[in-house]
Amino acid sequence: MPGSSYFSTIRVVSYPGFPYHHQRTLKPKTPLLSVIIVFMLDTLAPWPPEYTVRKSKRAKYIRLSVSAKGVEVVLPHACAYREADTMLQSKREWVQDQLRRFASEKPIIQDTELNDVFLRAVDQLWTIHYVADAKRTRLLQRENSTLVLFGDIEDKQRCQALVIDWIKKRAKQILIPWLTELSLEHDLPFNDVTIRGQSTRWGSCSSEKNINLNYKLLFLPERLVEHILLHELCHTKHMDHSERFWNRLQQLDPHCDLMEKQSRRAQKYVPRWVE
């Protein structure tokens, strides 16, 4: 896919005493008791953690990140996978601190039931009504900020999928004009914009100035969404996170540092039924 930074992704599940490799099945060389003891010593941040390794054609350096979704190591295309384990071990204290922080944080949105949709970015609350009938399951948007689900309303998976599709359409209607307005205001033109459902990113920008935005941005506070849009627009001038990039973003958003920290913890605004 043009502009994509993804080459391959693997998921590593490891425990004390396990040899490092990335096969699907791992066989311990130490008794299970040692695993249990270590887990009991530090339940908030067991070591080593389960983590994801992703290779990127755009990456110049090894990057390590910890989010509410978990631990990820991004490797340059030419790096061996074993370099991910080396990086993880060298940052052990920092990784464990981050894991403890995410484990102790309670999400703002606790709801697992699909009763309403609060689009925090535009301060819209949509109430969901259910009407059972014998026809196929479908969703209709009504006046007064109401969504109605008809059909087999016991099929929660299908109902959730319909609501998420509706949110994606709303994201196109809201986020694309918002991005365009900021682009014109700050003279940061982009080529194209796509609304997606990334699991770990709020947005991205390719070298062709194609921007991807996560539809879940609609659940975030307005101020934070604007910062993320500006962040991606700045990548149309500076593809890396160099000093020039941060200086430009700081000019557009004086509270850049604070917003960056909040964006890394913004998953708490997303309802659990969206996951």
Q: Which domains does the chain have, with CATH numbers?
A: 6-104 (no CATH), 116-274 (3.30.2010.10)
pLDDT value of residue 58? 79
The pTM score is 0.63
Q: 271 Cβ partners below 8 Å, 6+ apart? A: 109, 111, 112, 219
Q: Is the pLDDT of residue 233 over 60?
A: yes
pLDDT of 214 over the 90 cut: yes
pLDDT band at 143 (very low <50, low <70, confident <90, very high): confident
Helix spans in 115-267 (H): 156-185, 222-234, 243-252, 256-263
Instruction: Give the single-character DSSP code of 63.
Output: E
pLDDT in tens, 191-201: 999 999 988 89
**Cβ atoms within 10 Å, residue 263:** 17
pLDDT at 69: 67
Give Dmax (Cα) for the chain: 62
Q: Which of 208, 207, 203, 274 is CA-nearest to residue 240?
A: 207
Calculate the average pLDDT of the chain: 81
Beta bridge pairs of residue 119: 124
Q: How confident is the model at residue 26 (pLDDT cuts 50, 70, 90)?
A: very low
- Whether the predicted pLDDT of 112 surpasses 60: no
Q: What percent of the chain has pLDDT over 90?
A: 47
Could you count the other beta carbons within 10 Å of the beta carbon of residue 90? Answer: 12
Q: What is the mean pLDDT of residues 113-132?
A: 91
pLDDT in tens, 248-273: 999 999 999 999 988 988 988 999 88
Asked whether the predicted pLDDT for residue 70 surpasses 80, the reply is no
pLDDT of residue 150: 93
By DSSP bridging, strand 51-56 and strand 6-12 are antiparallel
